[in-house]
A and B are shown apart, each in its own frame.
Chain A
Amino acid sequence: MFSKGLKKLMEKQKFSSAEIEKMLETGIFDPSYEVLFPEANERANKILLKAKITNPTFPGKSC
């Protein structure tokens, strides 16, 4: 049984699981991909852009 909040959350999701899996496999997210925590993402990205992070390894592989 879905709660009200969960129902609303599910309604907001515009990409299917298959589409998201594809994005994860390529590492490239659609620019309109809905970020659930925009403030948290912005906060983390700010630190990430300033920090001297070593290059990530890629490509990813799904299950």
Chain B
Amino acid sequence: MQKPSYPYHQLKPTRYFFISTGQQNIEKVVDFMPSPFIGVLNLAFGDLSEDGTISDIVHSNNGDILKVMATVVNIVKHFTACYPHYKILFTGSTRERTLLYARILKMYYHEFSEDFIIKGVIEKTEEEVLFDCQNPYLYKEFIIQKIL
């Protein structure tokens, strides 16, 4: 994603931080979390509040969604460069957000697919399939893995 992005800091091997400087300054945290399967991590990101808690539900409407997403993509690239054997799963906190991620994946498919195998879990059948930017499937979740 050769779009403008924010600089980020790696707080821990699985945890990253950056500041979204849209209409206001919002601190964001990206975290790779263990799943029930070895070799699979869940990706989540959200807004950091003053008490140190994080929400991925809040709608910050900061006017910089593409820049935020480009930053998350750069973080995923950094993490998977270190841990290429992991599959990274992500889904939206709402159906709308999952649809937004699908749109972004479609838009930048040719670029993403150079670095990653991209799969999706189809909403209706729960099947894992290769993500195809031409097909009309609705996805529940996305799975990416660095091409080795």
Contacts and interface: CB of A to CB of B under 8 A. Distances in A.
Interface of A: 3-13, 15, 17, 20-21, 23-24, 27-29, 33, 35-37, 39-41, 43-45, 47-54, 56-63
Given A27-B38, A40-B93, A54-B128, A4 B50 contact: yes
A63 B126 CA distance: 34
13 contacts: A3-B27, A6-B48, A24-B14, A36-B15, A36-B44, A37-B33, A39-B57, A40-B42, A40-B56, A43-B93, A47-B89, A47-B121, A57-B85
Contacts of B29: 9, 36
Nearest to B90: A44
Interface of B: 11-15, 17, 27, 29, 31, 33-40, 42, 44, 46, 48-52, 54, 56-57, 81-87, 89-91, 93, 121, 126-128, 140-141, 143, 145
B44 A41 contact: yes
B85 A60 contact: yes
Nearest to A41: B33
Contacts of A48: 35-37, 40, 42, 89, 141
B14 A20 contact: yes
B128 A52 contact: yes
Given A9-B29, A47-B91, A24 B12 contact: no
Contacts of A51: 121, 126-128, 140-141
Contacts of B83: 24, 60-62
A48 B37 CA distance: 9
Given A36-B33, A56-B87, A12 B82 contact: no
Contacts of A40: 33, 42, 44, 46, 56, 93
